[in-house]
Amino acid sequence: MPPTRTAEVIGAGLAGLTAATALAQRGWSVRLHERESEIRAIGAGIYVWGNGLATLEALGMYEEAAAGAHVGTALETRDHRDRTVEELPINGPGQARVLTIMRDHLIDTLIGGARRAGVEIRTGSEAVEATPDGRVLLRSGETARADAVLAADGVNSRIRRQYDVVARRAAIKQGATRLTVPRSAEFVPAADQGNYIEYFSGRRRVLYTPSSETNLYVALVADEDDRPASRIPIDTASWIRSFPHLEALLGACAGVAGRWDTFQFLTLTRWSMGRLAFLGDAAHAQPPYLGQGGGCAMMSALGLADALGDPSAPVDQRLRDWEYAERPTIEHTQRWSYRLGHLNNLPDAARSSLLRGSRLLPRLGASRMRAALTVPTGAGRFAGTSR
């Protein structure tokens, strides 16, 4: 029998948990290192599109992750006067699939799946160095050697900083406060309550996202230098001035603990070196205008495990094959995500008419659909992403 192959995975976010589980399910012996004392979900809710859902199906975790999730029927964009300027039907036959899930539920599901697959999860275990020959140095002083080392340590990856691999890192100069409030019939008219709605006003956006039967995920998006907009707890009066029609919703956000994060865009010259690979936001962070950073991270992590599952070629070659297979789709999604950020640079009237009727609209819609319909290479028999 060939010796069991080993992997050290650094970072227990969506990318690290997915890669660790998928590798363990393929017979690898996997250790997952998380520097925090516990694995925490960052943010409130999350949009999981077809690629992320197909990944969960391939991992055998779809049913658990989807339990209690919200299934919207449309993705709407509203202008500064609360008029619908774009509407994308979802989750119907032949349409894109997307669920919204509370992040802590998604992360807990992935942790449970990782444990069941036999992943050894080590919290409070920070990696300080990793090398292309498969060596990992931990802050504790311990070193480990593995057939593959996966750096899934987020957009500010310490491991990546050891190497000159950043091709482009763009400052988006926007960010969002994410928070959760109890759902209420007062926030939006009855007909809209099950939809996902993105409201624009000036350079600000509000994202209305039911994420379970009882929880509403709210994202308040603004320029980094819009000080009142990035204040925590939120400056309710300032937000209501921009969105008077959302007074009840914004009032409910007053005093709620939230988290402000700025947006990132990152590409690398290469995703791997020898036995060391970068994945998730550490390799391909994108601003969240498409809600696809996590889906891409999970999809690509599954593809990586699939590529490594083939024992017929050396690890470095399999990692290069994985990058070759995944990179075009991920970079397509990153580019469109980046472009959608420019909608905030337009005056209200120009943005409304652009979204309502311009030639760009089919391209935006088509691009969202393509990103949503992306199928992870490792999803195998779960390749159907619309139903």
Ligand X SMILES: Cc1cc2nc3c(=O)[nH]c(=O)nc-3n(C[C@H](O)[C@H](O)[C@H](O)COP(=O)(O)OP(=O)(O)OC[C@H]3O[C@@H](n4cnc5c(N)ncnc54)[C@H](O)[C@@H]3O)c2cc1C
Residues in contact with ligand X by the rule CB under 6 A: 10-16, 33-36, 43, 46-47, 126-127, 152-154, 158, 176, 178, 219, 261, 280-281, 288, 291-295, 297
Instruction: Report the DSSP beta bridge partners of residue 208.
Output: 197, 218
Q: Give burial (CB, 10 Å; 0-12/13-18/19+) of 375.
A: middle
Quick one: 72 or 288, whose CB is closer to ligand X?
A: 288
Instruction: Identify the H or E element spanning 76.
Output: strand 74-78
In this structure, how many other beta carbons lie within 10 angstroms of the beta carbon of residue 32? 28
Quick one: 102 or 246, whose CB is closer to ligand X?
A: 102
Residue 162: CB minimum distance to ligand X, A: 11
Residue 248: CB minimum distance to ligand X, A: 23
Residue 207: CB minimum distance to ligand X, A: 9
- Quote helix, strand, coil % in the chain, to nearest 5: 40, 30, 35
In this structure, how many other beta carbons lie within 10 angstroms of the beta carbon of residue 354? 17
Quick one: 326 or 352, whose CB is closer to ligand X?
A: 326
Closest CA relative to residue 344, chosen from 298, 273, 288, 265: 288
Residue 121: CB minimum distance to ligand X, A: 11
Residue 349: CB minimum distance to ligand X, A: 27
* Cα 350 to Cα 340: distance, rounded to the nearest angstrom: 14
Quick one: 101 or 352, whose CB is closer to ligand X?
A: 101
Quick one: 73 or 156, whose CB is closer to ligand X?
A: 156
Quick one: 220 or 246, whose CB is closer to ligand X?
A: 220
Instruction: Report the DSSP beta bridge partners of residue 131.
Output: 135
Residue 30: CB minimum distance to ligand X, A: 14
Q: Give burial (CB, 10 Å; 0-12/13-18/19+) of 131.
A: middle
